[in-house]
């Protein structure tokens, strides 16, 4: 394998890994949005819309902070009793679930 072939292979694997990371995080954000929607008393189309808003919140701040900030603010506004630890735990748990879903797809 030539040096150029190795470089192209590494770049291709990196691009694939980044794409998978994005898909997994987007799926996790949708799942956590659906979880939060349930806590907020939203169902059906309203829950789906809330989940999409949660996905969009991930673009506002790097990492999990955009999603966390949205959930924290929405829970506080609706007087939903969820600690920061519970929210972050669900983010972590649903990341594992999202990874399994993306891998199965």
> What are the tens digits of pLDDT across the range 72-89?
999 999 999 999 999 999
Task: Give the model's pLDDT for residue 76.
Answer: 97
pLDDT band per the 50, 70, 90 thresholds, residue 63: confident
Q: Where are the domains of the chain?
A: 23-104
Contact 66, 59 (CB under 8 A): yes
**In whole angstroms, what separates CA 75 from the centre of its chain?**
17
What residues contact 17, with CB distance under 8 A and at least 6 apart?
Answer: none
More confident residue, 29 or 1: 29
* Res 61 pLDDT > 90: no
The neighbour count for residue 53, using CB atoms within 10 Å, is 15
DSSP category for residue 82: -
Is the domain spanning 23-104 CATH 1.10.790.20? The answer is yes
């Amino acid at each position: 394998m030539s040096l150029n072939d190795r470089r192209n292979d590494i770049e291709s694997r990196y691009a694939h890994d980044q794409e998978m990371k994005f898909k997994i995080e987007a799926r996790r954000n949708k799942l956590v949005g659906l979880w939060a929607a349930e806590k907020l008393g939203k169902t059906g189309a309203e829950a789906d819309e809330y989940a999409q808003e949660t996905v969009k919140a991930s673009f506002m701040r790097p990492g999990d902070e955009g999603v966390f900030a949205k959930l924290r603010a929405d829970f506080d506004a609706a007087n939903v009793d969820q600690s920061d630890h519970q929210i972050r735990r669900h983010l972590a748990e649903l990341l594992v679930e999202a990874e399994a879903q993306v891998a199965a797809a």
